[in-house]
Structure 1
Amino acid sequence: MRQRGPLFSLQTIMTLLVCAVVALSLTVTDILISQEIADNTQQNLEDKATTIARIVAHSPLVIEALNGQRAEAEIQPFANDIRKITAVEFIVVMDMQGIRKSHPDINKVGQPFVGGDEGAALEGHELVSIAKGTLGMSLRAFTPIVTSSGKQVGAVAVGILLNNVNQAVAQSRLIIYISVGLGLMVGVIGAIFLARKIKNIMFGLEPKEIAKMLEERSAMLESVREGILAIDTDSRITLANAAALRLFNRAGISGDPVGEKVADCIPNTLMNNVLETGSAELDQELDLFGITIVTNIIPLCVKGKSVGAIATFRDKTEIKQMAEELTGVLLYADALRAQAHEFMNKLHVILGMVHMEYYDQLSTYISKIAHQHQSEVGFIVRHIKDPVLAGFILGKMSYAREVGAELVLFEECFLPVPADPEVIHEIVTVFGNLVDNALEAVVDCPLRQIDVNFSYEDNVLSLEVKDTGPGINDDLKSQIFSKGYSTKGTKRGLGLYLVKRSVEKLNGKIEIASEEGQGTQFKVSLPYKNKDGWME
């Protein structure tokens, strides 16, 4: 079943998220700022009305008219002029009884002030109030009118209709709303462009797809046997997989090298050269604190631009070991070479005897060689039924004679045809390495003999290889199967390690019996099924 993807794409989610954040931010800003602006607008109108009221109250014309020094009729035109200039709704001048001396409506002059909020002003106090008058609900600023001697002779009321106040506040808020709308629009456009940009940067992949790809790539990098090391343009290590870390630990480089300069961790590295030249270094051998590695280094390029370099490497010993292990090819080659060399030596002897015309001796020599060959071949063919192993044993017998030793097979040797031909390759590896070790052990001994026995019973193959060498002391018995351990010099110690590994691969076991001065005997027991019970 195909896995369902996310309900919304990354681009949609980012667009919605950014728009929501912008909208929320602008809404909070509108709430905070618009209220402040509304309060400031109303306060400004109150201050305006109070200022106008003070100006009128301090006018000599008004004071003198209310004090009886001028005609009260002069107050009406003066107040109307001020009202028109200041764009307020009304300026009402009243005496101490609250009788209007001015009003926008000439018919209201001489009538009592309406609203009921003028009392405090007639008592000598300034105030601002909201009340309903003849012109409707209005914001009113009251100021007492006082003569120079300190006597109050009336009051001034300057009014602004409440509708006009609310309209002014609304106009102030409208600017905020327009700004919020424009900001939201810009936010939406920016969110769309940002989402598309991020989407392009991520190659159009969704986060879940990126996470899956990262997990798969990490798993692949960690599963390969080759060490992988990557650096950036500053020569700093950005990646080292598990195989690389294991090899570094063997070389004595501990800790996580990621983030370090590659030259500080790995001596004689060619990665900096590849970074500088942009040319790959292939199949190069490098010494890593005593471990020889084979490495391939190539530059990393993204869109035609160098972004670093990557190296894959492996222990040269392992590579060599794999080459030697491939179906016993090396062992087959040695055996064939020995046979060819022995055959060439015999041909040279025959050629010499022909030139010297020793025909009688030549006949005897050829008969002896033929008899020996037929005897060996016949014995092996009768007792070793697998042709690959039979040919290999013949080659080893020839090689033994070449180095001055004798390889002897027991008379009771027998090995049927295996049910699984692949088993023979492992047996060749076991037999070939044990015989090679035995030949090296007897090379300086007076008696150079290796006894070999194959026996088969109850689906178990037993292989014994015994030499007349100097033997192995008890301290070395526990170490000879370790990889790289050898008493014969450097770059050795693989033969018995391969023997042990092949035996373990076949679920067998190996035993060693040895005493100093009395030779060494290896006994290998392996599960072995013959082909369809064939025993002929």
Structure 2
Amino acid sequence: MRIKTKKEYIKNMLKNMSFQWRVFLLLLVVFTLLLGALNKFMEYQLDNYLTDKVSEIAMNQAKIIASMDDVIEGVEQRDTKKLKKIADRLSMESNFSYLVIGDENSTRLYHPNPEKIGYTMQWNKPGALERGESYIISSEGSMGLALRAKTPIWDKNNQVIGVISLGYLNSKIDMWRSNQILPLTSALLLILFILILLSWQFSTHIKKQMMGMEPMEIARVQRQQDALFGAVFEGLIAVDTEGKITAINQNAQKMFKLAGAAKYLVGQKVQNLITPSDYFLETSGTNRIDDLLIINGLKIIANRVGIWIDGEFQGWVVSFRRHDEINTLSAQLSQIQQYVENLRTLRHEHLNWISTIGGLLQLKEYDRALEMVKFESSNQQSLIDSISQMFKNRLIAGLLFGKYHRAKELGLEMQFIPGSTLSANVNPLTENELASILGNLLNNAFEATLKNPDSNKLIEFFISDEGSELIIEVSDNGCGIAPDIHDTIFTRGVTSKNSGDHGIGLYLVKTYIDQYNGTITIDDNEPCGTVFSIFIPKGKGS
């Protein structure tokens, strides 16, 4: 088995480390390197500054000592005792490390170590004394490694008679440097500690923003989202609180005829691409289900769900599909339900009718049985002829024929008001939309009338499209509409029924009417009940 190298081990360890720890360690390394470099730079700057300042101070002190009368006199007289006395006094009053005094040949007249007196000074700059030049030198001398300031001593005749060498030992300068660097280093270490805490907080915040997922997991989720958006048959659009599109699938682009790739649409304002856009821009609204809308001239059924992160609203995800697809499915289902209802009603009536005829035949009342057959056949044909003559549209005629028998089965009487008429081509609604309106209004009328025990059980129906408007009127003798829901009866979810109804029927009725700029009114019927009246301008759909 191959043994892993140290490099491979570190690589695998970093690979298996969580993103939070990787961010934290990266920030920690970066901050440590930056603060380390900053510390070195500041040490370098401080060292140069301190060297320049000590050199300046040493030179100033040396020149002051060289100009003192007692020093000049002592050098002229080569009075070593006097010079020692002066040097000892100056050493007590100043902070330099040592002071050496020499003659014009750089021979020591005073030295802190008496044994060095009489010897030539070290590290002299050639020709400097003869030229009367002052200079700074850092070297290893008799007193050790030090920074020295050397300046000539002038007599009253401006002749060089000696030299002053004033030095600061490097150990003393290093002590001063340490005294300055220690607080700086401590401050930088404190800053590093604070940055470590902030780095951990930042990495924790990043992890929280990433919902605890690793980058690979986020990438996988993003690819899954792209795949889901592409696979969903419905159109999908996600927007943020500013109305900017954050995601859109191809079906939404096709439905709204939005040109360009999805990546170019993301980030654009939804109001620049979609009209009207209020549905996508609400910030205080609630989730919506099965809203009928017209967007970019296309009728759609939309669902809207809010995006919430940590209790804060972040935008909407809106899914939608063409209204005509739902309408076609709804129409097919409604027709099947209507056929089933008609067959069930007719079967119930015919069972009663056949039972009666069977009884008459058993009693040998043949004439009565024949008379009943002729009467029933005549009534059915009369009803069919009457409905077919008033309502030329076969879908609506079939609907009303079924509702008539349903009312009769429930013990109600459905009466078509004289003057009712409807052409074959329904205008401006489609026949499916009109069937939905009539079916919902008649069903509500049946249920309301059955709830009122004192009702006369009469349902009156009127429809006409002869003039400039399509007029529909449905009146019942039911229990009426409760005052507390009278103003909100067309709102989705509002209902007066106790049978688990979701309050969709009248909401759909109102939606269809609004789409064609129509109006609907609710009035009280006499002696009881409700009258729904609808007026829709012909040929003026929205």
Shorter-normalised TM range: 0.5 to 0.7
**Equivalent residue in structure 2 for 1:31, among 32, 40, 44:** 40
Residue aligning to 1:7? 16
Shift of 1:334: 9.7
**Equivalent residue in structure 2 for 1:137, among 121, 145, 158:** 145
Contact 1:279 1:299 in 2 (8 A): yes
Between the aligned partners of 1:286 and 1:120, the Cα distance in structure 2 is 102
Aligned AA (2:94)? T
Residue aligning to 1:117? 124
SS, match of residue 36 in structure 1: helix
Confirm or deny that 1:155 pairs with 2:183. Answer: no
Deviation string 1:328-379 (CA, Å, 9 cap, x unpaired) is: 94696599589869979x98xx99x99xx9949949x99xx9xxxxxxxxxx
Between the aligned partners of 2:113 and 2:258, the Cα distance in structure 1 is 107
Deviation string 1:36-63 (CA, Å, 9 cap, x unpaired) is: 3222222322222222111111111112
Confirm or deny that 1:295 pairs with 2:318. Answer: no
Aligned AA (2:122)? G
Deviation string 1:270-306 (CA, Å, 9 cap, x unpaired) is: 445x533x34443332223543222233444444443
Deviation string 1:115-135 (CA, Å, 9 cap, x unpaired) is: 252654532222222344433
**Equivalent residue in structure 2 for 1:45, among 42, 46, 54:** 54
Between the aligned partners of 1:130 and 1:301, the Cα distance in structure 2 is 71
Contact 2:290 2:301 in 1 (8 A): yes
Residue aligning to 2:65? 56
Deviation string 1:254-283 (CA, Å, 9 cap, x unpaired) is: 9937532448722275445x533x344433
Between the aligned partners of 1:296 and 1:188, the Cα distance in structure 2 is 47
Between stretches 89-98 and 55-64, larger displacement belongs to 89-98
Residue aligning to 1:20? 29
SS, match of residue 275 in structure 1: coil
Residue aligning to 1:73? 81
Between the aligned partners of 1:108 and 1:102, the Cα distance in structure 2 is 8
The correspondence of residues 257-296 of structure 1 with structure 2, limited to 5 A, is: 259-262=268-271, 265-267=274-276, 269-272=278-281, 275-276=283-284, 278-296=285-303
Between the aligned partners of 1:342 and 1:290, the Cα distance in structure 2 is 47
Residue aligning to 2:219? 211
**Equivalent residue in structure 1 for 2:248, among 236, 240, 251:** 240
Shift of 1:71: 5.3
**Equivalent residue in structure 1 for 2:197, among 189, 200, 208:** 189
**Equivalent residue in structure 1 for 2:91, among 66, 71, 83:** 83
Contact 2:14 2:22 in 1 (8 A): no
Aligned AA (2:299)? T
Between the aligned partners of 1:134 and 1:271, the Cα distance in structure 2 is 89
Aligned AA (2:323)? K
Between the aligned partners of 1:203 and 1:337, the Cα distance in structure 2 is 57
Between the aligned partners of 1:218 and 1:79, the Cα distance in structure 2 is 89
Between the aligned partners of 2:298 and 2:341, the Cα distance in structure 1 is 28
Between the aligned partners of 1:259 and 1:298, the Cα distance in structure 2 is 20
Shift of 1:106: 4.3
Q: What TM-score results when the alignment is normalised by the length of structure 1? A: 0.57
* Alpha-carbon spacing, 1:74–1:322, altered in 2? closer, same or farther (3 Å): same
Residue aligning to 2:208? 200
Between stretches 256-265 and 316-325, larger displacement belongs to 256-265
Contact 1:115 1:131 in 2 (8 A): no
Residue aligning to 2:106? 98
Contact 2:274 2:295 in 1 (8 A): no
Between the aligned partners of 2:116 and 2:369, the Cα distance in structure 1 is 166
Aligned AA (1:317)? D
Aligned AA (1:113)? T
SS, match of residue 283 in structure 2: helix
Contact 1:296 1:311 in 2 (8 A): yes
SS, match of residue 43 in structure 1: helix
Between the aligned partners of 1:492 and 1:30, the Cα distance in structure 2 is 82
Shift of 1:22: 0.8
Shift of 1:105: 3.1
SS, match of residue 184 in structure 1: helix
**Equivalent residue in structure 2 for 1:320, among 317, 323, 327:** 327
Aligned AA (1:315)? R
Contact 1:120 1:127 in 2 (8 A): no
Deviation string 1:202-258 (CA, Å, 9 cap, x unpaired) is: 22211111222222233223322222333333344443333222221299xx99375
Between the aligned partners of 1:279 and 1:75, the Cα distance in structure 2 is 99
Q: What is the identity percentage for the equivalent residue pairs of Structure 1 and Structure 2? A: 23
Between the aligned partners of 1:6 and 1:97, the Cα distance in structure 2 is 74
RMSD between aligned alpha carbons? 4.7
Residue aligning to 1:518? none
Aligned AA (1:105)? N
Residue aligning to 1:474? none
Q: What TM-score results when the alignment is normalised by the length of structure 2? A: 0.56
Aligned AA (1:216)? Q
Return the structure number with greater relative CO, CA threshold 8 A, min gap 6: 1
Between stretches 38-47 and 70-79, larger displacement belongs to 70-79
Shift of 1:17: 0.6
* Alpha-carbon spacing, 1:490–1:338, altered in 2? closer, same or farther (3 Å): farther
Contact 1:57 1:63 in 2 (8 A): yes
* Alpha-carbon spacing, 1:169–1:330, altered in 2? closer, same or farther (3 Å): same
* Alpha-carbon spacing, 1:334–1:492, altered in 2? closer, same or farther (3 Å): farther
Shift of 1:75: 2.0
Aligned AA (2:269)? E
Aligned AA (2:200)? I
Aligned AA (2:165)? A
Deviation string 1:411-459 (CA, Å, 9 cap, x unpaired) is: xxxxxxxxxxxxxxxxxxxxxxxxx99xxxxxxxxxxxxxxxxxxxxxx
SS, match of residue 183 in structure 1: helix
**Equivalent residue in structure 2 for 1:222, among 207, 224, 230:** 230
Between the aligned partners of 2:15 and 2:126, the Cα distance in structure 1 is 72
Contact 1:297 1:310 in 2 (8 A): yes
Shift of 1:157: 1.0
Aligned AA (2:18)? S
